[in-house]
């Protein structure tokens, strides 16, 4: 969204500018896709495509230069990570440090779901207990009630 | 076992609250974005000189066996004004080697700015299109890097350096106390 | 003078809240009716006092009383009246006062509308509400007093953040807080139930309207915030997975789960401890959101001025409320006996699946929001968790939720067959499959996932309406219970939201062009002419305004006037987008920087179905209100009777 820090550090211009756009639409589409997944490092929660910060402009240009030079998408991401670390990726990489982030919620779903299903199965196998036959005392009271 | 299930929400909360309290009391800056260049050899440096007639800046300038301070600045950047006197002091009183790099700044703007405020830089380069800045993991100006004699980046300051940075880390680094 | 009156009223309110938070509790445990009825009087008095304080602050803002520090920091005499008023809650202190006010008003509402509650339950609920109020009022008085004076008074104020000077954002916080704070009532009901050791159908019936009301407001608040982001931030996005947005989404998800599980308690006397937990969590997550926004542990666009001391206070408060609630839960909830048995394939089973998925969604958002913090503290590694992460984790989980959503209402209680339910949905199934095929072939053949998501949107709408088809056929549509009608509306509205968000994010058209006055550009079948550039003057800003004449087939179609405003007091630029909508798509234009020599950058977007996102959200909340108007909730004071005597629907 808004770059509060960027205001401190740099003068604002625009998000993706017309002059940056690559002539090849397929390459430009890839650049956009990548741009949306890279974080503007001085912004709050904004991709470089949405940011007007100077550094976002440089990063967009670098993405396009790498793509024009024939890099794959993965190469471009690696290029950015080498300079700005994992922080630059809006989708954190799947590795030891982010295991809990990626698997935490699905694991929760699996465990809770499995526990619920097990409980349901156990319940199904519980035989419905037939009511205990009345004992002598109870039968006498019932008779009294019915008669009365 | 069933009992444990009912305590689970409380335990989760305790865990989270622990992290929050840790974060609040540790003085962590949530806006800090870290730096991956620290501990690694200084990124590539290949820039034309800012001052006319001087030789271009190269990697060799950062591997002289002596600690070097690299400072990215620009004449249009207000926080740079704030830290400028500190660099003047470092240069004049402490004899530090400071490499200044004008980032996205025209020569015609940067040179008068240095003339007006004083020029603390032994070496000065011009990164007009910001490509070197990107290689260095720069997020804006001003930013400052401390590089040891072997050319390894030891510290990276985002934003203007302060009196406190000067006393607590930069001066000890120059004296060889901070590795 | 008025400010001092407000300050004094706030102190009195704290005193009253202390009384309200203690004596009725004692009364309830001793069976002392006098102490219990004290709760009602105190609740009304407290609401009156906080209202007085709020009125005093509003008065200071409206009259631009710059001897009050809060007004100086956040207002300016040249501001339009609407933003003078909304400035009251456009800052930390004022928004906390609004929290306290809404909390007190909800307390008063429980006192007034809770006449049919048993005395002990009502007094306990009111007391717990008051204890929460004590926390907020103490927080205000001791760390965030909005009535602090400055001497000498400056001639004018610093003005309000220009981004907040917008009608959408003026009403966003009050709606959001009505939602957050509304869940305090369900929290109070949950605590009271744990104290009494009793959760039954009657309890569920009492809680549900409050949960429903809070949920409706929260839905509206979130939608308004998202709409604001859409038209003010200027690149057509509507949801950014920002920590603040996430903070409002988590209680919404928990609240939605609560609405559904409370039905099971009401109808079948099952899921009791789970429902109590959700009632606690919905409010706890609201508090967590407040903590995250105000403490400075996370950065966010919307964050208020942050201060670690304040952060520790809120953390303490969060711990007291949530920790207290969850500790009581850990102690008392195991005693709650679950009731009715059921098969996995049944209405109960479907509602449990709903809860399971909604809670997993909430956990995903929670983990994603807090993970960067955890990782940074533990390892020092910085990561970002942004939209692509949530698109990869949150969105896929919605698929089973949406798939099951339409089936659930066709399943009977206790045990049901899946096949007959699916058979009744066969038309919906066919229509949605057709929608997928149409989307694939006619709109965009590359994006299979978007087409699939579009199909889910259609499925939600048609599948929800299918439950009405029997009633339409038998001519009993008019006798349908309002709660059922509300459910159908809200479920279908969710489909509308899905269609809007899928279409606008996957199939929008965009053009960026540098233009000088007189330049013309073709865009998606329209011809756009930059007619002229003007300088315009607002009350507290100057702006550059572009006039774009849009024509189609040579005929004038519409005129769009996007602006770039420079707010003179703060020296901040804000883009004002121009949007022309025909409810099926938005024609969206923004003005970038430029000058007469090189021209101005104009960005044009065509966002298909974009208005449906907010129309759908509003409709969703409307469904909630329809359900809330069900006569069974208003009259027929629910009494504690065995739930088996109530007719199942």
- Lowest-confidence region among A45-49, A70-74, B115-119: A45-49
Question: Would an 8 Å CB–CB cutoff place C330 in contact with chain B?
Answer: yes
pLDDT at A1: 27
In a mutagenesis test of the C interface, which of B3, B5, B9 is the best target, namely the one with the most C β-carbons within 10 Å?
B9
Report how far residue A87's alpha carbon sits from residue C380's, in angstroms, rounded to the nearest whole number. Answer: 11
Report how far residue B89's alpha carbon sits from residue B70's, in angstroms, rounded to the nearest whole number. Answer: 15
pLDDT at C474: 78
CA proximity to B153, closest of B168, B142, B164, B143: B143
Question: Would an 8 Å CB–CB cutoff place C593 in contact with chain B?
Answer: no
Residues of C in contact with B22 (CB under 8 A): 377
Sequence spans of domains, chain B:
1-30, 36-174
User: What CATH number is given to the structural domain containing A10?
Assistant: 1.10.8.640
DSSP H helices in C269-323 = 272-295, 308-318
Report how far residue C613's alpha carbon sits from residue C386's, in angstroms, rounded to the nearest whole number. Answer: 21
Task: Among A88, A109, A141, give the residue marking a domain's end.
Answer: A88
Q: Decide the pairing of beta strands C563-567 and C555-560.
A: unpaired
Is there a contact between B9 and C329 if contact means CB atoms under 8 Å apart? yes
Q: Is residue A38 part of a domain?
A: yes
Chain C residue with Cα closest to B32: C382
Tokens of C198: 């009793």
pLDDT in tens, C531-556: 999 999 988 888 999 999 999 988 99
Would you say C107 and C193 are in contact if contact means Cβ atoms under 8 Å apart? no
Would you say C591 and C575 are in contact if contact means Cβ atoms under 8 Å apart? yes
DSSP state at residue C319? I
Is there a contact between A4 and C344 if contact means CB atoms under 8 Å apart? no
Is there a contact between C382 and B28 if contact means CB atoms under 8 Å apart? no
Chain B residue with Cα closest to A65: B131
Same domain, A116 and A73: no
Report how far residue A141's alpha carbon sits from residue B9's, in angstroms, rounded to the nearest whole number. Answer: 50
Q: Is C511 exposed, middle or buried (0-12, 13-18, 19+ CB in 10 A)?
A: middle
Sequence spans of domains, chain C:
1-160, 509-610
Question: Would an 8 Å CB–CB cutoff place B39 in contact with chain C?
Answer: no
Would you say B143 and B149 are in contact if contact means Cβ atoms under 8 Å apart? no
* Domain range enclosing A104: 94-125
Report how far residue C485's alpha carbon sits from residue C467's, in angstroms, rounded to the nearest whole number. Answer: 10
Q: Is residue A146 part of a domain?
A: no
Residues of A in contact with B137 (CB under 8 A): 83-85
pLDDT at A148: 57
Same domain, A25 and A56: yes
Residues 363-382 of C with CB under 8 A from B: 370, 373-374, 376-377, 380-382
pLDDT at C557: 92
pLDDT at C74: 84
> pTM higher than 0.80, yes or no?
yes
In a mutagenesis test of the C interface, which of B4, B10, B35 is the best target, namely the one with the most C β-carbons within 10 Å?
B10
CA dihedral A67, A69, A75, A78 (to 10 degrees): -90
For chain C of 649 residues, list the mean pLDDT of each consecutive stretch of 10: 91 95 91 88 95 94 89 85 88 91 95 88 93 93 89 82 78 91 95 91 90 96 91 80 91 96 88 92 93 76 60 88 94 81 85 94 95 91 91 93 92 86 90 92 81 94 88 78 91 96 90 89 92 89 92 91 84 84 92 85 91 95 92 53 39
Question: Would an 8 Å CB–CB cutoff place A10 in contact with chain B?
Answer: yes
* Averaged pLDDT, B146-160: 91
The domain B36-174 belongs to what CATH superfamily? Answer: Glutaredoxin (3.40.30.10)
pLDDT in tens, B16-65: 999 999 988 887 777 788 888 999 999 989 999 999 989 999 998 888 88
Question: Would an 8 Å CB–CB cutoff place C538 in contact with chain A?
Answer: no
pLDDT at C198: 87
Residues of C in contact with B28 (CB under 8 A): 376-377
pLDDT band at A7 (very low <50, low <70, confident <90, very high): very low
- How far is the alpha carbon of C543 from chain A, nearest alpha carbon, in Å? 16
pLDDT at C554: 87
pLDDT at C637: 47
Same domain, A79 and A99: no
Q: For the sheet with C585-595, list strands across it.
A: C509-515, C599-608, C585-595, C578-581
- Which residues of chain B have a Cβ shorter than 8 Å from any chain A Cβ? 31, 33-37, 43, 76-79, 104, 129-131, 133-141, 159
pLDDT at C32: 86
pLDDT at C300: 57
The residue assigned the tokens 């203690």 is: C22
| Number of alpha helices (DSSP H) and beta strands (DSSP E) in chain A | 6, 0
- How far is the alpha carbon of A136 from chain C, nearest alpha carbon, in Å? 31
Report how far residue A125's alpha carbon sits from residue C153's, in angstroms, rounded to the nearest whole number. Answer: 78
Is there a contact between B141 and A41 if contact means CB atoms under 8 Å apart? no
Question: Would an 8 Å CB–CB cutoff place A62 in contact with chain B?
Answer: yes
pLDDT at C633: 59
Q: Is residue A43 part of a domain?
A: yes
- Lowest-confidence region among A8-22, A111-125, C626-640: A8-22
The residue assigned the tokens 């006037």 is: C561
Is there a contact between A59 and B76 if contact means CB atoms under 8 Å apart? no
Q: H/E element holding C217?
A: helix C201-232
pLDDT at C353: 93
Report how far residue C634's alpha carbon sits from residue C169's, in angstroms, rounded to the nearest whole number. Answer: 33
Is there a contact between A45 and C397 if contact means CB atoms under 8 Å apart? no
Q: How many domains does chain A have?
A: 2
Would you say C601 and C593 are in contact if contact means Cβ atoms under 8 Å apart? yes
Is there a contact between B24 and C295 if contact means CB atoms under 8 Å apart? yes
Chain centre distance of CA C4: 34
Report how far residue C264's alpha carbon sits from residue A80's, in angstroms, rounded to the nearest whole number. Answer: 51
DSSP state at residue A39? B
* Averaged pLDDT, B87-105: 90
């Amino acid at each position: 969204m808004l770059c509060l820090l960027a205001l401190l550090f740099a003068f604002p211009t625009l998000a993706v500018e017309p002059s940056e756009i690559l002539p090849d639409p397929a390459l430009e589409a890839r650049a956009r896709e990548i741009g949306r997944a890279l974080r503007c490092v001085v912004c709050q929660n904004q991709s470089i495509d949405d940011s007007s910060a100077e550094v976002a402009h440089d990063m967009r240009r670098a993405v396009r230069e790498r793509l024009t030079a024939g890099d794959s998408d993965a190469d471009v991401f690696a290029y950015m990570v080498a300079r700005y670390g994992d922080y630059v990726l809006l989708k954190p990489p799947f590795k030891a440090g982010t295991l809990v982030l990626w698997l935490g919620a699905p694991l929760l779903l699996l465990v809770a779901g499995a526990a619920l299903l097990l409980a349901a199965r156990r319940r199904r196998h519980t035989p419905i207990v037939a009511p205990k036959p009345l004992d002598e005392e109870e039968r006498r009271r019932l008779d009294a009630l019915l008669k009365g | 076992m069933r009992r444990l299930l009912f305590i689970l929400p409380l335990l989760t909360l305790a865990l989270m609250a622990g992290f929050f309290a840790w974060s609040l009391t540790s003085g962590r800056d949530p806006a800090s974005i870290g730096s991956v260049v620290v501990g690694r050899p200084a990124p590539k440096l290949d820039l034309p000189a800012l001052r006319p007639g001087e030789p271009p800046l190269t990697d060799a300038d950062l591997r002289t066996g002596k600690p070097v301070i690299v400072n990215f600045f620009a004449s249009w950047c207000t926080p740079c004004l704030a830290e400028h006197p500190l660099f003047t002091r470092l240069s004049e009183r402490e004899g530090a080697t400071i490499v200044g790099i004008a980032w996205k700044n025209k020569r015609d703007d940067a040179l008068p700015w240095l003339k007006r405020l004083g020029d603390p830089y032994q070496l000065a380069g011009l990164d007009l299109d910001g490509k070197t800045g990107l290689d260095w993991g720069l997020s804006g100006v001003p930013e400052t890097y401390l590089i040891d004699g072997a050319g390894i980046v030891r510290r990276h300051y985002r934003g203007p350096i302060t009196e406190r940075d000067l006393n607590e880390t930069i001066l000890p680094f120059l004296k060889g106390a901070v590795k | 003078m008025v400010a001092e009156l407000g300050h004094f009223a706030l102190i009195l309110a704290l005193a009253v809240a202390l009384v309200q938070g203690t004596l009725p509790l004692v009364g309830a445990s001793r069976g002392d009716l006098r102490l219990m009825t004290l709760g009602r009087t105190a609740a009304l008095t407290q609401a009156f006092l906080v209202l007085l304080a709020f009125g005093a602050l509003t008065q200071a803002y409206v009259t631009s009383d710059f001897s009050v520090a809060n007004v100086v920091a956040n207002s300016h005499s040249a501001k339009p009246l609407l933003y003078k008023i909304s400035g009251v809650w456009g800052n930390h202190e004022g928004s906390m006062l609004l929290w306290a006010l809404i909390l007190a008003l909800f307390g008063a509402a429980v006192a007034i509308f809770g006449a049919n509650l048993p005395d002990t339950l009502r007094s306990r609920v009111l007391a717990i509400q008051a204890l929460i109020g004590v926390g907020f009022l103490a927080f205000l008085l001791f760390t965030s007093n909005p009535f602090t004076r400055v001497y000498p008074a400056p001639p004018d104020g610093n003005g309000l953040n220009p981004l907040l000077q917008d009608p959408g954002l003026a009403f966003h916080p009050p709606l959001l807080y009505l939602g957050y704070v509304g869940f305090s009532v369900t929290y109070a009901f949950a605590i009271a139930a744990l104290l009494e050791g009793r959760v039954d159908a009657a309890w569920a019936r009492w809680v549900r309207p409050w949960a429903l009301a809070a949920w409706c407001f929260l839905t509206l608040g979130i939608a308004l915030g998202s709409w604001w982001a859409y038209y003010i931030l200027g690149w057509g996005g509507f949801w950014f997975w920002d920590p603040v947005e996430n903070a409002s989404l988590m209680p919404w998800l928990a609240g939605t789960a609560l609405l559904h599980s409370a039905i099971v308690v009401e109808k079948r006397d099952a899921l009791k401890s789970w429902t109590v937990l959700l009632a606690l969590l919905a409010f706890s997550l609201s508090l967590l959101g407040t903590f995250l926004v105000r403490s400075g542990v996370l950065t966010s666009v919307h964050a208020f001025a942050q201060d670690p001391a304040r952060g520790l206070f809120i953390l303490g408060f969060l711990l007291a409320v949530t920790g207290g609630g969850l500790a009581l839960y850990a102690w008392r909830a195991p005693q709650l006996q679950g009731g009715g048995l059921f098969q996995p394939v049944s209405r109960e089973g479907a509602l449990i699946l709903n809860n399971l998925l909604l809670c997993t969604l909430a956990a995903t958002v929670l983990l994603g929001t807090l993970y960067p913090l955890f990782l940074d503290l533990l390892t020092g590694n910085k990561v970002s968790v942004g939209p692509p992460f949530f698109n990869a984790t949150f969105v896929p989980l919605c698929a089973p939720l949406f798939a099951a959503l339409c089936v659930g209402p066709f399943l009977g209680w206790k045990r049901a067959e899946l096949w007959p339910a699916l058979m009744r949905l066969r038309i919906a199934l066919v229509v949605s499959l057709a929608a997928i095929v149409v989307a694939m072939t006619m709109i965009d053949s590359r994006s299979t996932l978007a087409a699939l998501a579009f199909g889910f949107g259609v499925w939600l709408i048609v599948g929800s309406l299918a439950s009405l088809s029997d009633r339409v056929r038998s001519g009993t549509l008019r006798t349908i219970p309002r709660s059922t009608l509300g459910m159908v509306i809200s479920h279908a509205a969710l489909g509308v939201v899905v269609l809007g968000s899928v279409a606008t994010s996957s199939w929008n058209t965009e053009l960026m062009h540098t233009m000088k006055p007189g330049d013309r550009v073709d865009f998606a079948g329209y011809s756009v002419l930059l007619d002229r550039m003007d300088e315009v003057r607002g009350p507290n800003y100057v702006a550059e305004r572009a006039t774009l004449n849009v024509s189609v087939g040579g005929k004038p179609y519409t005129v769009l006037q996007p602006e770039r405003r420079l707010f003179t007091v703060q020296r901040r630029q804000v883009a004002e987008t121009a949007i022309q909508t025909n409810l099926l798509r938005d024609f969206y234009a923004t003005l970038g920087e430029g000058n007469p020599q090189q021209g101005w950058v104009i960005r044009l977007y065509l966002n298909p179905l974009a208005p449906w996102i907010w129309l759908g959200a509003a409709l969703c909340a409307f469904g909630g209100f329809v359900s809330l108007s069900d006569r069974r909730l208003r009259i027929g004071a629910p009494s504690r009777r065995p739930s088996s005597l109530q007719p199942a629907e």
